[in-house]
Amino acid sequence: MSNFNEYNVLDEILGLAGKNNLAHIYLQNLYFRRFRNLHQVTDVTEAIALYADSLRRTPIDHSSYPGTQFNLGHVLALSFEHSGDRASLEKAIIELSGAARSNVRPPLFPCQAAKTWLEYTWRYDHSSVLDACDAVVHILPQLAWLGLPLPDRHLQLMRTGNMINAVAASYIEYGDYIKAVEALEQGRSIVWSQLLQLRNPVDQLREVEPRLANRLAQEDIVREIRGVSGFEEFLRPKKLKDLTATGGPGPIVILNMSSFRCDALIITSASSDVQHVPLPDFNHNDAQRLQSSLAELLSSHGRHIIDDRLFGDRESAPHSVVDADENFISIWPSCVLSALQLEPKKNDLLPRLWWCPTGPVTFLPIHAAGLYNTNQPGSKTPDFAGSSYIPTLDAVFKNNPRGTLQPVKLLAIAQPSGRSPLPGTIEEIRRIESRAVKANITYLVDHQATIKENRKSPTESSLILADETHLKLSEIITMSIGRPQLAFMSACQTATGYERLSKEAVHLAAGMLLAGYQGIVATMWSIMDRDAPDVAGDFYQYMFREENVDHTKAAHALHHAVEKLRKRKGGRVFLSWVPFIHMGV
């Protein structure tokens, strides 16, 4: 209502209609909205009274109860901000915490309540901050509820914003680094967890209690399911000690980007303890600025879009000898490298380093970060370590290689039928084959696939195979494919992801890793076709130096190949060599 006299008219109508009328609900929302616009004390007083009255009249198990309780808590919090009356904040926390802990479906209002509760505890240093964090962690599985279609789950998760990063930041602030890691592990790729980790427990539940499994798609019965023997931990986040129990690679550096603070959490292979490295000189806004800078740079060079225009002559895309903007690569994690006590090396025995970025840094080339206006050793990440990326801890710990090396089989697809020619792919295949023959490869067919992105539904992005068949990401992650060792995808943007779902790492490379591939070579953005054969040839030359091919050397092989490309191109031609990345073990 733009005419405030209408509020008075509605007041008069309410006096005649009684408080059970729908106009009662309408009026409380109008008072709330008008207070936010005009900050009149009478409006907030009326809104609080009306919401409180509605809450008293609503059964606690009614679907509207958490929404009304959230609104009451929210308006009480706004009243506190206006008046400074701490008692209003305490009342707000009581209502927000109650709404956040509600088990009523759908979980939208409990989620909003948990987020608002957490924001106010941070903003005003309230003692319930860790309780708010625990509530957020508890509610996350409901947001990606198994009973909802995948697109709906994506929508619910996008609404959480940076909530899980704020939770981790809160745990870090209070010194609970293990809990911070566990929260991030649960929240970072919760859609993947639903599709992969939680698929098997549901199938197992159906074998034991089909009645409960069928009801899972209709209502929240997780508590009842956890009462079934063998399902006590059903849908619970994994503990760090359980994730690292079988041993794994290391060190792993988790980068948590929050509007409150930014930190690195380091896990080594020898321990499940977590080392904390604060990043006081880097903040969430810096990360967003660098991400925008990179997007603009890619756009100006014709590297930012995946569609059929990139499946033809990509050599025609504009490309400068020295890229116009170096800002995106100037993230220099020297404090992290110092904490790891790494020293710059010049030989092939570089240590491995695994990056698990979150939020806006997910799309930044941390593996290539450095100061490129100097040749001084130790000014760039590649001087210290061969980098790999992981979307979740579980993805690398469950794929930690064990046992003897297996015979290598290589599948390659060079040119999808009916598509514009992919320049350079035939030469790339020939170079791979020439290297592979020397390594006594038992089976060789050609491989290189085209990428088709689906921005509306990321899991419908696909690889276009030789017979024009589309192999969708949603199909890849549900396949029983065993433990394939390595996928090499040097086509267009196979690791760029879906920007609105950066925290869920929804992209083809991570999807294949989580589906069971132990390692992936991918590109963060589209590459120049003349570069692909060079990188592939040098990569496989390194890999096939010995008769028994060790896929765990893939990160070193890629480092070797990219370094050769960087030297040929000149170190500051970033768009050519930076996009190549390794994921996994």
Q: How far is CA 334 from CA 282, 340, 487, in A?
A: 12, 10, 31
Question: Tens digit of pLDDT for each residue in 81-140?
Answer: 988 899 999 999 999 999 999 877 667 788 889 999 999 998 999 999 999 999 998 887
What average pLDDT does the chain have? 73
Residue 451 is given by DSSP the state E
| Predicted pLDDT at 214 | 65
pLDDT on residue 173: 94
Q: Where do the structural domains in the chain lie, given as residue ranges?
A: 5-181, 243-341+355-384, 395-584
Mean pLDDT of 325-343: 62
Instruction: Please tell me the CATH code under which domain 395-584 is placed.
Output: 3.40.50.1460
Secondary structure (3-state) at 472? strand
Q: Which helix (H) or strand (E) holds 10?
A: helix 5-17
User: What is the tens place of the pLDDT at every residue in 140-163?
Assistant: 776 665 555 556 666 666 666 578
Query: 554 and 582 in contact (C-beta within 8 Å)?
Result: yes
What phi and psi, each to the nearest 5 degrees, are found at residue 450? -95, 145
270: phi then psi, degrees, rounded to nearest 5: -90, -5
> How far apart, in whole angstroms, are the C-alpha atoms of residue 194 and residue 479?
15
Direct distance between the N- and C-terminal alpha carbons of the chain, in angstroms, rounded to an integer? 59
* 156-199 pLDDT tens trace: 666 665 788 999 999 999 999 999 999 998 887 665 555 444 44
**C-alpha distance from residue 260 to each of 41, 123, 126, 183 (Å):** 31, 9, 15, 16
- Tell me, yes or no, if the pTM score tops 0.95: no
By C-alpha distance, which of 205, 135, 197, 209 is closest to 170? 135
- Cα(500)–Cα(359) distance, rounded to whole angstroms? 10
More reliable by pLDDT, 478 or 409 = 478
